[in-house]
Amino acid sequence: MSFFSLDCVRKKERELERKVRANDREHNLSFKYATNAIKTSKYNLLTFLPLNLFEQFQRIANAYFLVLLVLQLIPQISSLSWFTTVVPLVLVLLFTAAKDASDDLNRHRSDNRVNNRRVQVLIDRKLRSEKWMDVQVGDIIKLENNQFVTADLLLLSSSEPLNLVYIETAELDGETNLKVRQALPVTGDLGDDVEKLADFNGEVRCEPPNNRLDRFTGTLSCGGQKYPLDNEKMILRGCTLRNTEWCFGLVLFGGPDTKLMQNCGKSTFKRTSIDRLMNVLVLCIFGFLAFMCAVLALGNLFWERNKGSSFTAFLPPLDGNGPGFSAFLTFWSYVIILNTVVPISLYVSVELIRLGNSFYIEWDRKMYYARNDTPAEARTTTLNEELGQIKYVFSDKTGTLTQNIMTFNKCSINGKSYGDVYDYTGQRVEVTEHTETVDFSFNRLADPRFTFHDHALVEAVKQEQPEVQAFFRLLALCHTVMAEEKTEGELFYQAQSPDEGALVTAARNFGFVFRSRTPDSISIVEMGQQRRYELLAILDFNNVRKRMSVIVRSPEGKLCLYCKGADTIIYERLDPSCSKLMDVTTEHLNEFAGEGLRTLALAYKHLDEDYFRDWRRRHHEASTVLEDREDQLDQLYEEVETDLLLLGATAIEDKLQDGVPQTIEQLSKADIKIWVLTGDKQETAENIGYSCNLLREEMKEVFVVSGNSLDDVRRELRSVPETPLPPPAARRALSLSVLWLSRDAQTAMRLDTAAADSLLPDGVLGKDATVMADETANGEYGLVINGHSLAYALERGVERDFLRTACLCRAVICCRVTPLQKAQVVELVKTYKRAVTLAIGDGANDVSMIRAAHIGVGISGQEGMQAVLSSDFSFAQFRFLQRLLLVHGRWSYLRMCKFLRYFFYKNFTFTFVHFWFAFFCGFSAQTVYDEWFITLYNLVYTALPVLGMSLFDQDVNDAWSFQHPQLYVPGQLNLYFSKAAFFRCALHSCYSSLVLFFVPYAAVLDSVRHDGKDAADYQSFALLTQTCLLFVVTIQLGLEMAFWTAVNTFFVVGSLAMYFAVTFTMYSDGLFLALPSAFHFIGTGRNALNQPGAWLTILLTSILCLLPVVTLRFLSLQLRPTINDKVMLKVRQAKATPPPPPRRARMRRTSSRRSGYAFSHAQGYGDLVTSGRFLRRPAATPRTSGSALVGRATAGFSPMGRSAGYSPAGRQHNAKVPDVQVTSLQMYRTMAEPGL
């Protein structure tokens, strides 16, 4: 399935307004709107060969070798046979074509899978099953439960009361909680009557296609009336219909015009930084090749004029061929001979190395997730070495860092903390999967999936402690959850946030079961007894209030307000009598926050009947005014939510994936900066940031930007040096717009405005951008920015201020961001920072970010497979990222750099010998080596050893790589292969070629054999030179390898053995007699290599070539050792497999920071609940006679755990707080009066 597999950028006339008429295909086709089909494939059977060859010959190297082939077919300038170029060129083209064909076949399959899905379409007054690709704008389609939404639809009607539908938007915004959409009443009356739907001829005028997921404007004209349309009437492609039997919708946008596709970003071809560097180097090599050929051509010109006349007797010149023309032909002849400076086998070898390293990733059992049977997958084989150079990681939060599973972990009730487990000595016990869980069998309605470990809390409930029961009663009443009971006793909660679902589930298991609701009542089961509370008002949540309240009337007629919200907000509204209880609860909240839990404070208040009657009247008046409605309601909410009585606090854990904190810590040690880009609210993201060690208490300050205008955001980003230090209380308050940096931070992070203006020119992002230099801060800082502020921060003139501030921080969290904003942040860093980026996510809302980054990683998690399908690499858990980067990425980069350095060295050395020989052969374009040696040098004699090194070499094993993540830093700095490294390699080759030419030349010059015959013939010199060359490059390869295996050894020794076997075979009498023109070095092997002087020459050239290398490495190791040298020395000293890394103890931090509000909550659900628009069918009728409670506490019960007073410090813990004023609730017992 691939919704995103499409290039969303379409070259067409700009659309200003969309006009759609229902059930009128002819009218809608006149506007030429995009169909619902998608096409991602590049080729078909007819176009594959020409298009693929055209693409391949766009590569400079391939075109270069094609030109060489043409030149070799001209006998006047070619001194080499055509097969020396044809064979490797054809191999490269075939290999690449096969790979491209395989990739495009997968794209065809993905396209067909999506386009051929079926949906029911209303055509000719009948519902017909049609393919997705045949759906047109203006069609009315029917969706059924759990179906994917086909296109962007205007909701017409549904099976649910009041024409509601429930949709899951995980592939749009990453949130798995359900959303509600409602149709207009005028269309809702159509129901599922096909005749009425077929007669519907409404016309929609709306905005053109755009990427705004949260906004839609339009009008529906029907029956002479106009009705406004907004986002609440739309269901978008990428959503899934849930808990709704059927619905009908009108197609407004299809295929590439849907909002999902508009957010997908442009699909680009990704190339590694080494590829880009190689393109530059190849151009330099071409220039250098032209220079060498020009020098040799000039040499031929002068030689022909001065010396050539002496040879005309036996080499007569052709008519009209003077020295100038001879020099011209010589130039092209040397272009052919010296072409090995850019060997085509280089590109074949690079592809094989990348393919091999990709297999290592897929075969790695330590990246295999057995629970889901999901191995790691390298979906792109051309980016492996880029994994070893990552500087910035952009991560989604929900489903990537977390499991998106909320659990009720701990709580504080009336000054007592519950949730920790203690042994018989009073020592706190680490909770594991083997720790004994609480038995909830006394509650037949308990959720069997819920687990809790502190038995003291359930015993307190059984003992009917009023404050404990009131705590869970609040959780069962104060929420907007919907209950679904398909069969008796089987409850399913539909919560608009997983946090709220976790709290209601906790109350359910502890005996306070939320059963059902109507617009004006809530039914719960309290310890087995059915009770119905009258719901009088919901004071809804919003981002400013950071709390929600309900006002209910108990069956006994008591009025009570229940409130839950951010502790900082609740504390401001507490009655003064709660001051001491507040102090104790604050200690517990700090402890919970230090463990990264998401906290809420709970409070209540009894209301006077007369006061409430007056308040309710004023509330109704305020809710019906047209102007300042929200302000008036807020004032009424503030009025009633005062003098609250504190009950306690909850602590919810958004379960992190296993190993996330350790992974982030390891990546931070490797100097990798991690930015979290999430659609969640700020407080949620901050809590997870602390939980996973992204944000730490040790940081000097966390800078929060939340301006609501361009000027505000610019001022906040630029006011770091000028802003005075606020008081400590203000710095801790999360409700402030900005947490200003401390004075030390201001000094450390001060930016020079004049210098900043000179760094980058003003211009559109991504064009004419100058790379920003890295700056360092004195200490660690964090940055948090909201989505609406980020929109301004990414605008022209502000983006550089944002990037500079963000790059000075160790961690960055962007909240409430859209998919397109995620991609824009990645593009911002790519544009202005010389760094490699990686984006990792698990949902369709992460696809644009994954495509924008240099490397995209998909998590195959809870939110579908969209991210995986668009990624370059994929696996099941975030913790595998450290192995992908620190092990596979670093090894791949190290191997590729070693390969390139060695490959250029051996080929430059091979080629430069030709250059020196030209000065001794009259610049006649004669080769110094045998033709067969030239053909087989890169394909046979040196291919396997260098491939063995590039596939198996490693400086240290994976355990040492994890113990020393600093080994990753050289890759970020391009220290292993760069332009400087390339030119050092060229100088080394130049020196080696001088030795390899002149030492054998001096050795055979004027020398004689032991039988007195002359040994100075061309063939003997060629054989001696090529043998010296092969020994030198092979020994050099041995020096490069740090990890010898049996395969490497076999390749090295086998290649030398192959050289001698092939040499003696081709120089034999038999092959000469069979093909004398092809094998004319008859007997040269046995005549030249049986002389002791030849082997002495081989030894001497090897020593002279390698001695400077060994000396330089020794001096570097002693005087300037690198991090690799130091770690490899430790490995040698260990002389054994290093012990595994020490087990990381669970981190327990003391923190003054608490959650601002734990919910990923949206405003407006209170109105839905009280209006009845949110309601489903009536739940199954519950039994009113609750079963007898099993295991009710007796008078002799002695509680265990934290509430029993045990403390690791030996002092009484959780004892009753002295001098805490007893509230009316605490004096109240349900046994005497069973209802509150």
The structure tokens 């009315």 sit at 140
Three-state secondary structure of 401-432: CEEEEEEEEEEEECCEEECCEECCCCCEECCC
Cα separation values, 862 from 238, 329, 389, 395, 1120, Å: 14, 67, 29, 16, 49
| Edge-to-edge strand ranges of the sheet holding 512-518 | 416-418, 402-413, 645-656, 598-606, 559-565, 547-553, 529-539, 521-526, 512-518
Question: What single string gives the DSSP state of each residue in 1183-1228?
Answer: PSSPPPPTTPPPTT----SGGGT--TTSS--SPPPTTPPPPTTTT-
Angle between helices 710-718 and 799-807 (to 10 degrees): 40
**Block residue for tokens 């990798």:** 672
The alpha carbon torsion through 912, 914, 920, 922 (nearest 10 deg) reads -120
757, exposed or middle or buried, with CB in 10 Å at 0-12, 13-18, 19+?
Answer: exposed
User: According to DSSP H, which parts of 875-889 are helical?
Assistant: 880-883
CA distance 694 to 812: 9
**CB contact at 8 A, 698 and 780:** yes
Residue pair 789/707 in contact (Cβ under 8 Å)? The answer is yes
Q: Which residue has the tokens 């897929």?
A: 362
Q: Both tokens of residue 616? A: 């309710």
Please state, in angstroms and rounded to a whole number, the distance separating the CA atoms of residues 523 and 584. Answer: 33
Q: Computed from CA positions of residues 117, 119, 124, 126, in that sequence, does the dihedral angle turn out positive or negative?
A: positive
Helices (H), 954-1045: 958-963, 969-972, 979-1004, 1018-1040
- In degrees and rounded to multiples of 5, residue 1084 shows phi and psi of -65, -35
Report residue 636 as tokens: 């009424």
What are residue 1077's phi and psi, to 5 degrees?
A: -75, -25
Q: Are strands 118-123 and 126-131 parallel, antiparallel or unpaired?
A: antiparallel
Q: Which of 1192, 1201, 1210, 1207 is nearest to 413 (CA)?
A: 1201
CA atoms within 13 A on the CB side of 1102: 20
Instruction: Single out the residue of 547, 652, 546, 679 nearest to residue 596, CA to CA.
Output: 652
Question: Phi/psi of residue 252, each to 5°?
Answer: -105, -35
Q: Label residues 358-378 b or e (16+ Cβ within 10 Å = b).
A: bebbeebeebbbeeeebbbbb
Residue 318 to residue 149: CA distance in whole angstroms? 79
Sign of CA dihedral 1050, 1052, 1057, 1062: positive
Question: Which amino acid type is present at position 1141?
Answer: P
Q: Please indicate whether residue 396 is annotated as part of the active site.
A: yes
188 to 148, 193, 959: CA distances (angstroms): 21, 11, 63
Checking DSSP bridges between strand 234-235 and strand 152-158, what pairing results, if any? Answer: antiparallel
Q: Which residue of the set 139, 396, 801, 842 is catalytic? A: 396
Residues in the chain: 1236
Contact 1160, 499 (CB under 8 A): yes
Q: Catalytic residues, which ones?
A: 396
